[in-house]
Structure 1
Amino acid sequence: MARVKLTTPNPRAEVRTVSSPDTTIEQVEFHNGRVVLKWCDGHESLFHPLWLRDNCMCSQCGNRAVGQKLTYLMDLPEKPTPNALTLTSNGALHIRWAQGDHETTFAASWLREHCYSEAERLRRRHQPILWNHSLQDRLPQTTYEATFHDDRGHHELLSFIRDYGFALVHDVPTSQEGFARMAGRIGYIRETNYGKFSDLKVSPGPARTLSDTNHRIPLHTDECYRHANPGMLAFQCVSASEDGAGATLLADGFSVAEHVRNSDPEAFELLCRVSVASRRFEHDNMDLRSQSPVISVDNEGRVQGVRYNERSAAPLDIDEALVEPTYAALRCWLKACSDPGFRIGVVLQPGDFVVFDNQRVLHGRDTFGGGRHLYYCQLDLDEPHSRVRVLDRRLGLPADNVTIHRGT
């Protein structure tokens, strides 16, 4: 499989943004125990009085967004009641409360950003771009120079990671310092019992892990045996294989999960509910164990993360009645993961850097001949998501209030 190169014009992957609604309040009233706001674009927001009182950000109550909340839930009336609702000259909502002689003012834009109607929660929710093999010819990719050139180049990289779960960066210096600088542009490097950085070298002699060999590695997520499995993984090629093989394989675990949901709902339900055990053991050195479902969903059934690595799977420790159905569900998952229609492949060349969300994107490798050398590190998931929101605001983009999937 040939290296995917940048072309002119670059076949850029789509970067998703969120449209901003009209934030002008047209009318306010108190009806059926709710504060009702009618907006100029026709939307209607209903707020519980307790929610509004709890989120007051006056000097007396403090601001929880910056960790300075001064009034707590148990300090408030159980059922606060607005005594008067008015719109100020600049369009803000002003509330005078019946209890405690307290007043609260909310900017209209803040209320719209935090409206919890189904439509507004859906608008704020991050919609990952699901992908399969058809992405092969339009990969989310950039260059080292572009990433460090300015905020827009930095934002593009982080947006690719947010939307697709991965990104490729070309022309990264092949020193460990260059690798560390590139990884640090994305987030904070995570230190584990393996250290901060790993050199994955194929060389004669016994190998500690399968990564140190030239064997094929099936699609998987890393280190499922940890309670907090890695958020993101980064690899950089220092020297390529001698035969030009050994493609890095990636697949969108969210796409695979949705395929399983549609093709075998019973298997999907089991993979979301039954915890599968994982273990990594080295005598007198480590004994890491964890249990987790293969697919994590939120309370509305949306896929939030995937985690499974057959190579570190421990014996199933579940109810006897679930053993055979769970094996059948795992076979369904693994069959989908092995489908070439879900995966892309890139043969990394020196200076190529790939980073991906380990709680969304499955990775593996084709077999190759001779030696190869990669750098490897882990990063936490929080920081790249935080940085892209900060850059959204700095660049005047509308997606800064988007909530991204929580992972596993």
Structure 2
Amino acid sequence: MNKEYDMSIPNARVMISDVSISEAIDMKQKLLDIDGVDDVTWLDDVVDTYIPLGTQDKDVVENYYKDNNALFTVTVDEQTRLETVNAIRKLIGDENSMSGSAVNTAVATQATNSEIKKIILLVLPICLEILCITSHSWIEPILLLGTIGVAIILNKGTNLMFGSISFVTNAAGGVLQLAVSMDYSIFLLHRFEEMRAQGQEPKEAMINALCKSTSSILSSGLTTIIGFAALILMRFKIGPDMGIAMAKAITLSLITVFVLFPVILLYFYPLIDKTRHKYIVPDFEKFSKVVMKVMLPAVIVFFILIVPCNLAQKINSFSYGSSKLFSENTQIGRDTKKIDSIFGKSNNLVLMVPKGDLQKETELSDKLHEIPELSSIISYVDSSGAEVPMINTYSCGSIVVENLNSWCS
């Protein structure tokens, strides 16, 4: 389809309120003039707007113009989606509405990046507090987080080799990398402390710590890498996108722990010694005794719980698409509800059939018109008529389906 046509599937709906036919046509041209807008479809592409609308097919007209509200079907270039959607919003203002996959993705991108920054500002103090409680020195948490921070920056920078990555991968990658690879530097730190507690010099202690912790760190790291790499086998391309980036992230974390962190520890161990504090975490000896006493009943309880939990996970309900992502408290949530309340929900589909028999194309169009859920068709035979010859190899038509759950073929 991309080879035969330079058009993309419409991915946005823009509604302008309180406009006349002539004002709507002017707005259509303004939308077309925005960089990144490939196409705009409106009523004038389907019927002759110079003929009184009262004499036209009411159902067709009301798909595009109803109660002085004009609904434009817009095709936004995916490469400039964020900038284009922002430009459309600037043009139409907050009082008018827009929705669709392009708008959802643009808003989700901006919201995700913004909220991830807030999450990081929240998570870092919590991580510092936990590390301070579970460590023996006030400086250790800063060194641990600093090492992982270097690995995160290296990973984000080297993502450039892929050309482009998903905004989801970019936003979540840093937090995931922090969560799954923090253990490695803790393992090495504890081994280093153990070797020093035995009276070994710092350099000797680090050499022995590396030798004794490498196998456990590598086994943990390689398991995580293989887990992320398994996502590469997915045909849904967010899997390979995240799988490759995160496998690389864990690899860089391992390299950082084995190469950078030993140097940091050897350089800062005098400061670690000066900032030592009492171990805050209580002894778990009593808890371990309790666990040993109830281990058999606990195993039985867990096995009993497996059955109902397994049955429960099979009847989970899932939300697909972006309908549940935005509440009515958001601009896009209000816009979507407003458009749907006036023009109803719709899905744009594009059908391409081989060229060669205009009569068959006309018959196809007639059959499609008989489907109750289909509200309008824009095609060559509908717009120009089967009598006008074509020179293209393929004929392409756009249809609007009011309820995709009722009919899909």
Do both share a fold (TM > 0.5)?
Answer: no
Write 1 or 2 for the structure with the bigger share of strand: 1
TM-score by length of 2: 0.24
Write 1 or 2 for the structure with the bigger share of helix: 2
TM-score by length of 1: 0.25
